[in-house]
Each structure stands twice: as structure tokens, then as C-alpha cells.
Amino acid sequence: MSDIDPAEHRLRALVSRLAPDIAADIAAPAPFRDPGPDLADMDAAYAVQLEVAARLAPGRGGVAGRKIAWNSAQQLAMAGLAEPGAAHVFADQIAAAQDGPARIEAARFMSLAVEPEIAAILAADMAPRPGGHDRASAAAAVARLVPAFEILDRRRVDPGARPVAVVAANIFNAGAALGGPGAAPDQVDPARLRARVTLNGETLLDAEGTAPMDPLEAVAFLANRFNALGQTLRAGETLLLGAHLPPRQIDAPARLRFEIAQLGAVALEVV
């Protein structure tokens, strides 16, 4: 007689049924598809995402980071969510752009989009801890904060797509470009960070206070979210901490630059 709880058995069956097709669609890439009403809540969405990531990771250098999504009050309200979303970032999709622009080929993507973000580079593991992680434990774990572009392939998603379906599909992450030089957390005042974004020389953003969430609180959220899923964030991981602008579809050729006070700059060239 099986000791598996019936609900757990149903969840495992759902993951086994949905994850292979979702992973294959991401790898192709193929248009985003909502897997249907059987994917009914975030517990199921994250269970599917973990299996999707496990299927994709071996061919993409392993998991090398995480991302947060919907982490402003406005985004949460629009999505009807109680907390932000989280997803995986893979090693071979992270590009260094400290010495010049990172380059990506638009032809590799179905619906290429980018978001300017702050990224955290971890200096220490973030394992489960009593009471969970907070801003202080996040500051102790982060080596530096750097400017970054998150790269997404939104795969022709409908703007009204269900968040549970988006989470199951790893929230469209397709990599990141990391700039610098960056700064240690104790050298950064989040409230006074001025961000400037340009696309082909045109200014898209030039303002203070554009981060959707305090960067270290976003780090703590990601640690707690993945700790709850049975994972430890590892030293060296890159954490993408939320968009300073909504995702913007990009057509080649294009050149983007994101400068942020105290942290430096990152440039991305789309060919």
C-alpha cells in the first residue's frame, strides 16, 4: 500500500504530464501555451517549474542564478498576486559586459525583450534559517550589486496570461547581461539610485527611485522562496532583482545602455 498522500500523488502526476512539453517549448522556442485548468495554483506552478528547470539545466550549463518578477505593489495588484514570482537563470545564458557590450542574436528568440535591473552576486550560500532571511542576512550574503539587463523570450505570450502558467514556464527568462563595476551593499543607498536607460541613443528612463523593490529585500525574498522549495542559493549565483521599466520588445539592430548611480553601467548589443 502506498504511503504517498493522494494530493501529492496528483501533483506528481501533473508535473510528469506538463513539464516535458513546457521544457520542450522553451528549448525550441515555440509559442507560449497555457497548460490548462489542471494547473490551478502556485504550489503546482512551482513544482512544474522545478522539473522544467531540471530538464533544461544540463544543456544550459546548470542553474547559475534566480530572478524575481511582479515585485512592485502595482505589478502585484495587476496580476492579482499576494507575493512576487521567482524563476531560474541558467549559466550559459549569463554574459559579462564589464569591458564592452554583451552581444545577442535576435534570430535566436521568438519574442526578444529586455528589462533593466539590479543584479546581486552572492558571496555566500543562503540556506534555510530560523525565521527566514531578511534584509540583514541578504546584505551579509551579497558580494556586490551590479547593473544588468534581463533577457527574456516572451514567446508571443498573451498579455493576459495566467501568472501560474507563466511561473511554470520559468517566467520567460532567457539570460542576463551583467555590467559593473558594481558596489558592496553597504555602499549603496537604494532610495538615491538614479537610473538612466537608452535605446539607440534615445533616453527611455532618467530618474531616481525606479527600483520596484529594495534590492536586498528582493534577495531575501528569493532565498526564502527557493528555501521553501527545498533549494539553497549558492555562492556565485546571480540574482535578478526586478525591472526598472516594463519589458520592452527589441528588434535588431539595437544598442541598449543602463547606467545606475553608484553601480556603473551595462551595455547590450542586439544583432
Q: Cell 547581461 appears where?
A: 177
Whether 14 maps to a domain, the answer reads yes
The predicted pLDDT at position 271 comes to 97
Distances in Å between the alpha carbon of 48 and those of 6, 43, 87, 206?
18, 9, 11, 38
Whether 1 maps to a domain, the answer reads no
Which residues, 6+ apart, have CB-to-CB distance to 56 below 8 Å?
Answer: 23, 26, 27, 88, 90, 170
Confidence of residue 191 (pLDDT cuts 50, 70, 90): confident
CATH number at residue 73: 3.90.850.10
The predicted pLDDT at position 185 comes to 97
- Count of structural domains, the chain: 1
Whether 106 maps to a domain, the answer reads yes
Whether 178 maps to a domain, the answer reads yes
The predicted pLDDT at position 1 comes to 45
| Strands (E) located in the chain | 63-69, 85-90, 94-96, 102-104, 112-122, 142-153, 173-178, 180-181, 194-199, 202-208, 238-243, 248-249, 254-260, 264-270
The predicted pLDDT at position 2 comes to 56
Please give the Cα distance from 162 to 171 (Å, whole number): 11
- Whether the per-residue pLDDT at 244 is higher than 60: the answer is yes
Whether 116 maps to a domain, the answer reads yes
The predicted pLDDT at position 5 comes to 86
**pLDDT above 90 coverage of the chain, percent:** 93
Q: How far is CA 262 from the centre of its chain?
A: 22
Mean pLDDT for all residues in the chain? 96
Domain interval for residue 232: 6-270
Q: For 65-109, what is each residue's pLDDT tens digit?
A: 999 999 999 999 999 999 999 999 999 999 988 788 999 999 999
Cis peptide before 181 (omega within 30 of 0): yes
Whether 228 maps to a domain, the answer reads yes
